[in-house]
Amino acid sequence: MEALTNFFSHIAEAFGFPGLFLVMMVGNVGIPVGTEFVLLLAGGVAQSVYHSAWWSVAIVATVAEVVGGLILYTAGYYGGRPFVARWGKYVKLSEKKLDRFHEFYERYGNIVVFVCRFLPIVRGVSALPAGVSRMQKRYFILYTLLGSACFCFGLTYLGSVFGSHLDQIGAQVHRWLYALVALMAIAAMAYVGYRYASRRSKGAG
């Protein structure tokens, strides 16, 4: 996994914005790119090497994530369960996991897509079950865009702060990164719980 992440990180670094776009898009069609680390590196390189604005990197990454998600969403939407049965094993998505996602989606609604944008590994394949579940495309795009924007802007900014020191403090950055992603996931899930509780209380009233 680490070697694969390094490979894609080098592509993003060597080819600039086109390379970053390709890597982030690929990372959202089920290939384990390690987008968290790619974003950190891209933010650091933009700041220390090219002296460009970190937010320009975040914008490219966000758009690429939405495009990649739409590709996988479309495959799930038109391919349905047969597509998952045949190809799901390559992205570690079984029909059993698909059923669990569908139950979660039925219970909490479209916000599930937003939450998945903060969960490592899950974020790269969550568009497929969303498509199979026939989620309306406009809501899928909206929640994917919002979640990806928070994720990409947050990590790219963090990379720009560390700049050229990423290699020297790699171990610490990894720990902080996991802590940050965990906090994002907890906050997103807390919001889902709040929305669900509010909906139930209104229904009971």
* Domain ranges, ordered by start, for the chain: 2-204
**124 three-state secondary structure:** helix
How far from chain centre, in Å, is Cα 123? 4
Which pTM value belongs to this model?
0.79
CA distances from 7 to 3, 134, 166 (A): 6, 34, 17
- Residues contacting residue 154 through CB under 8 Å, at least 6 positions apart: 180, 184
Helix residue ranges, H only, 27-94: 35-48, 54-87
CA atoms of 108 and 119, how far apart (whole Å): 17
The one-digit pLDDT tens for each residue of the chain (205 residues) are: 555 566 667 777 777 888 899 999 999 988 888 888 888 888 877 766 655 678 889 999 999 999 999 999 999 999 988 888 888 777 777 778 778 777 777 777 778 888 888 877 788 888 988 898 888 999 999 999 999 998 899 888 888 877 656 555 555 555 665 666 667 667 666 766 666 666 666 655 5
